[in-house]
Amino acid sequence: MKKFIYILSIPLISLFIFNTAATAAPQEMHSQGFYNMKDLNLSENISYKVQNHEAYVEGLLIILDSDRKIQQLVRIPANSNNIYISPLKYGYKFIIYNDILLTFS
């Protein structure tokens, strides 16, 4: 009976020791297209950082207000980190241009 308990306890203990699941939610990557703030899970009056995860492709991020006027036009270099955009307002729309993968944080 002791052997059975030892054999059963080894996989259970290793399961707890080697459980390395990430506790933070994974960031969503967004490709070329048209988005609004709800699609990107962005909040109002917060300054965000944009990152491009493509190694060799540059892109553009165009931010439009509710009157379809350009508020920001950001050139995003390949494999870039921490490009800051100004605080956003409700109703802004986003155009991601070129084959890039962006995350907002």
Which tens digits make up the pLDDT trace of 27-40?
Answer: 788 888 999 988 88
CA distance 36 to 91: 7
What average pLDDT does range 44-68 have in this prediction? Answer: 90
The tally of CA atoms less than 13 A away on the side-chain side of residue 79 is 2
* Alpha-helical segments (H) within 34-101: none
pLDDT band for position 80 (50/70/90)?
confident
- Model pTM greater than 0.85? no
Which residues have CB under 8 Å from 83's CB, separation 6+? 49, 50, 51, 52, 74, 76
Query: What confidence score (pLDDT) does residue 18 get?
Result: 67
- pLDDT above 90 (res 100): no
